[in-house]
Chains A and B, each alone.
Chain A
Amino acid sequence: MKLTLKIWRQANQDAKGAMHTYELDEVSEDMSFLEMLDVLNEKLNADGEEPIAFDSDCREGICGMCSLMINGEAHGPEVTTTCQLHMRSFNDGETITIEPWRAQAFPVIKDLVVDRSAFDRIIQMGGFISVNTGAAPDAATMPVPKDKADRSFDMATCIGCGACVAACPNGSASLFLGAKITHLGELPQGQAERNERVVNMAAQHDHEHFGGCTNIGECSAACPKEIPLDVISQLNKDLRTAMKQGR
């Protein structure tokens, strides 16, 4: 395959960036998208141009490190992460536009690499159950109905990649936030801190300059783990309950 790649290049956070165009030949359809970029980088290095910076780590779709807006779609055209996207999803001769996640809360560090530490700070504000090591009762003392455990698990599969934010026209992180609220809220262990959790995490979400949700559904459609919109409803409900109860 032969491809034309239009890629965002930006030297650092304060520099002005621009789209650059590269031609790449002999792309195999068995390459993953990131392997295609590896090949491009080898070529750039050989030609004396600094390779393009992009994030990736596990390359098996679970760590959430890879990102990339590919032809206007977060993680590209398939329901998966960029690292699991393969070149057979593209056509010979195609022009592919590659941009970083765009959000006020995700500043570009370099080229296609963004800072997602806002997600960590949202978790710091309550995305946990307060139990010190060693203070736990025997695991069998607290049965959890299977349907609740399964739903909790489904929402806990969020990989924190930020595709929801990238795809949202409002730059909202409500899907990320709702997934964590639902993961912990479905479990009996998560009840004690439920009100406090949702209020604190939602406040931090706003503080990080993520936008509000307009229930459009782009986030869920872009989510590589297919987290459903339910979680945003759950988030809203939990916040409403907390407000009613005086938080």
Chain B
Amino acid sequence: MATDTLVKNARAARTTIALKLAMATSGLIFIGFVLMHMYGNLKAFGGRDAFNKYAEHLRTFGEPMLPHEGLLWVIRVVLLVALVVHVASAAQLAARASKSRPVKYEVKKNKHSSISSRTMRWGGVALLLFIVWHLINFTIGKVNVSGGATTDPFNLLVDSFDVWWLTLIYLLAMLALGLHLHHGTWSALQTLGLTNSARSRKAAKTTGLIVAVVIAGGFMLVPLFTLFGVISK
């Protein structure tokens, strides 16, 4: 139902666009994080020592200025906040969107939208579920499905990706991540107001594609090469 009143005391921070800005900013934090994470994962190609040293370095980074695992905790807190913001604003935006069209069309064509843009919401939920499992798998629970309990990160990695279905879940999740990044990167740039011309719009879309391919592709290398035995204990 349309209203017939005008808003009083409008504030920028209370608009949907502000919500989208929160979404975009938290999204960009994640892009930065997954980029670093992907880079770290590639250390697995250097063998156990390179990989474990990198894992250890993350914990000792900044000592003695920072306490042990200090940086890691800073990152964790930032990511957690970003996650809450990202998910909460997504939920609100989705709720607004669904209320905005109570009666659906009998026939509706998509003229322009990409698969990645249409799968943002469910893809996002899938990624959230994956993250939960991923943390249980590698961080909190260190659940080793095939090789028994271990505190060695490299062992855990190799043992996990030797299991075909774990690898499959991981690869599917990376596909979802790629799709999410493809639209999400461009969308964040547009929401931040950085695409005010046809040229910058094209550049932002290309950036989205590159980010998606590099990150999702980079993440996929380690499990695939582990599964095929190139990376092994």
Contact = CB atoms under 8 A, between A and B. Distances in A.
A212 B93 contact: yes
Interface in B150-198: 183, 186-187, 190-198
A6 interface: yes
Interface stretch (A47-55, A80-88, A220-228): A220-228
If over half of B's interface residues share one DSSP class (helix, strand or loop), that class is named, otherwise mixed; here it is: loop
B219 to A, nearest CB: 24
B11 to A, nearest CB: 7
Interface in A116-146: 117-118, 121, 124-125
A121 B6 contact: yes
Contacts of B200: 233
Interface stretch (A22-30, A32-40, A57-65, A97-105): A97-105
Contacts of B101: 102-104, 170-171, 211
Interface residues of A, number: 64
Interface in B79-106: 93, 96-97, 99-106
A235 B194 CA distance: 11
Contact of B7 (A71, A200, A213): A200
Nearest to A114: B2
A55 B5 CA distance: 24
B12 A243 contact: yes
Contact of B17 (A97, A107, A207, A239): A239
Contacts of A71: 107, 109
Most chain B Cβ neighbours within 10 Å, of A230, A232, A236, A239: A236
Nearest to A95: B107
Given A99-B107, A167-B111, A237 B100 contact: no
A229 B7 contact: no
B118 interface: yes
A209 B196 contact: no
B60 interface: no
A199 B7 CA distance: 11
Contacts of A239: 12, 15, 17-18, 21, 193
A72 B109 contact: yes
A222 B16 contact: no
Interface in A147-184: 167, 169-172
20 contacts: A19-B106, A102-B103, A104-B102, A121-B4, A170-B96, A171-B97, A203-B14, A204-B6, A204-B10, A205-B15, A206-B15, A207-B7, A215-B117, A215-B191, A229-B201, A236-B21, A236-B190, A239-B12, A242-B12, A247-B12
Interface of A: 6, 8, 19, 69, 71-73, 97, 99, 102-107, 115, 117-118, 121, 124-125, 167, 169-172, 198-200, 202-218, 220-222, 228-230, 232-240, 242-243, 247
